[in-house]
Amino acid sequence: MNSSRISPVRAFTRRSFLTTAGTAASVFFPFVSRRGFAESAGRRLGIACVGVGGKGWSDMEGASRGNEIVAICDVDANNLAKAAAKYPQAKAYRDFRKMLDEVGSIEAVTISTPDHAHYPAAMHAIALGKHVCVQKPLVNTLWEARELQKAAKKRGVITQMGNQGHTFEETRLVKEWLQAGVVGKVREIHVWTNRPIWPQGAEAVMKPGTAPEHLDWQQWLAATPDHPYSPDIHPFKWRGYLEWGAGALGDMGCHNLDPLFWGLDLGVPQQVEARSQGLTDVAWPSSAQVVYRWKNVPGHGPVTLHWYEGKLPDGSASMPEPIPELKGAAWSKTGFYIRGSEGVLYNQGDQAKNLTVLPEKRASDFLANPPAKVLPRSVTPGQPQEEWTLAIKNGVAYPWMSQFDYAVPLTELCLLGALAMRVGRPVEWDSEKLEAVGIPEAKRFIKRAAYRPGWEYSSDRL
């Protein structure tokens, strides 16, 4: 959005903030100094990487800064060969279990696989006392999320989820502005995404095929039941399937809900319901709207959050109507807005990269004297893997990280919306019992129905 079109409203972009306020790394923490980070950065960790293609490649590079990649694992021999060429000292494996059991120099593990394989890889690493950084969403079932949290506490490892927006300066601004009353008491939130950009609903059809020679399909399946290979599943389209992905909400919820979840300290909602089109026995819906309800958010009262994804049967995007305060200015294809008693905070795009305060009078009043920056800033904005390795060296998971005590409830928020889609009726959620109250049939969606023999992991086995 061009902020001049809604002058005098000030739109805060990454570039404008860094120009006016310096980098986020220039903010010193009250309890961890830059010198402390520099001193700890001198020690090199032994890092192993599970999944080194696509996002796994950038995660591997992020974790390698100031450290040594000692082992790499990928089910795709082509990905593995490329990574081995860059890190020739690393031992290469197709099976992460064998890698973790054999390479004694591993201290920490990045996990950048399809969603269904996050859980067994992370649990195997945690069982051996390895620190883990897991891509978002942590898992694609609610039970697995809780088990990861329990296991990490039991072993005392330092954890991180790879939702890089949580390291951004703008995410801190959202929280500081909301705490300062930028929109007054929050009443409703709307979040929308242009995902899925892969087949879902009736378009998700698994045509039979033969696995290419460079792919170990059995290792790709990991803990999930045996299933024939299909090019409509791997390498990219798995996100649309119930067994292996978490749909659009799983993919983008941990990004776009994060600044709101953290900014308002929302916690897990008491009620959730969903309307969807095209849900099948194997695939997530082609479009959906999810409504989350919190009975009493401290400082605000009842809050409702609306999530929109996909395309409606007529081909139009599932998204809210443009808000009148924009006065006809461009409405983004993905974004969020928070409506409160005193105004609106609007973000154009994913995460929280382009913030606009509305209406104009509220913007001029509030932004004339914005609140002080009181929250600790990440020393590695945009690099959650590097932030995680620095935390390991310092021996503590910093409170601003997306470590599991934070990331599990955020993942639970996303997976609750997915649960409501599959149940097809309003869900009253008992977070303590991990139970949809009065809906016993929901149990089969809360925990994976079956695991392959030899791939069973749980926190009580550690």
Mean pLDDT of 282-299: 98
Kindly report the three-state secondary structure assignment for every residue of the chain: CCHHHHCCCCEEEHHHHHHHHCCHHHCCCCCCCHHHHHHHCCCCCEEEEECCCCHHHHHHHHHHCCCEEEEEECCEHHHHHHHHHHCCCCEEECCHHHHHHHCCCCCEEEECCCHHHHHHHHHHHHHCCCEEEECCCCCCCHHHHHHHHHHHHHHCCCEEECCHHHHCHHHHHHHHHHHCCCCCCEEEEEEECCCCCCCCHHHCCCCCCCCCCCECHHHHHCCCCCCCCCCCCCCCHHHHECCCCCHHHHHHHHHHCHHHHHHCCCCCCCEEEEEEECCCCCECCCEEEEEEEEEEECCCEEEEEEEEEEECCCCCECCCCCCHHHCCCCCCCCEEEEEECCCEEEEECCCCCEEEEECHHHHHHHHCCCCCCCCCCCCCCCCHHHHHHHHHHHCCCCCCCCCHHHHHHHHHHHHHHHHHHHHCCCEEEECCCCEECCCHHHHHHHCCCCCCCCCCCCHHHC
Task: Give the pLDDT score at 56.
Answer: 98
pLDDT in tens, 136-157: 999 999 999 999 999 999 999 9
> Quick one: pLDDT band at residue 132, thresholds 50, 70, 90?
very high
CA distances from 99 to 47, 63, 328, 396 (A): 12, 18, 56, 26
Domains 3-9+168-367 and 24-166+383-403 share a fold: no
User: Span 3-9+168-367: which CATH code?
Assistant: 3.30.360.10
206 pLDDT more than 50: yes
Judge whether residue 455 has pLDDT over 70. Answer: yes
Domain range summary for the chain, segments of one domain joined by +:
3-9+168-367, 24-166+383-403
Give the per-residue pLDDT at 31: 40
Closest CA to 268 of 407, 80, 446: 407
Backbone angles phi, psi at 408, to 5 degrees: -65, -50
State mean pLDDT over 117-138.
Answer: 98
404: tokens are 């599991």
Confidence of residue 329 (pLDDT cuts 50, 70, 90): confident
Residue 372 has pLDDT above 70, yes or no: yes
CATH class entry, domain 24-166+383-403: alpha beta
Please check the confidence at residue 10 and state whether its pLDDT lies above 50.
no
Q: With bands split at pLDDT 50, 70 and 90, how would you rate the model's confidence at 78?
A: very high
Rounded to an integer, the average pLDDT of 54-76 is 98
pTM: 0.92
Is the predicted pLDDT of residue 293 greater than 80, yes or no?
yes
pLDDT score of 9: 38
pLDDT at 28 over 60: no
The one-letter code for the residue type at 187 is R
Q: How confident is the model at residue 19 (pLDDT cuts 50, 70, 90)?
A: very low
pLDDT at residue 208, as a whole number: 93
State residue 38's pLDDT score: 52
Encoding tokens for residue 27? 């903010």
Mean pLDDT value of segment 118-144: 98
Q: What is the pLDDT of residues 345-371, one digit of tens each?
A: 999 999 999 999 999 999 999 999 999
Residue 2 clears pLDDT 60, i.e. is over it: no
For the cut 60, the answer to whether the pLDDT of residue 24 exceeds it is no
pLDDT over 70 percentage in the chain = 91
5: confidence class by pLDDT, cuts 50, 70, 90: very low
| Range with the poorest average pLDDT among 36-45, 69-78, 108-117, 273-282 | 36-45
Helix axes 115-127, 142-155, angle to 10 degrees: 20
Nearest to residue 243, comparing CAs of 114, 134, 121? 114
Residue 42 confidence (pLDDT): 78
Write phi, then psi, for 397 (nearest 5 degrees).
-80, 110
Q: How far apart are the first and last CA of the chain?
A: 51
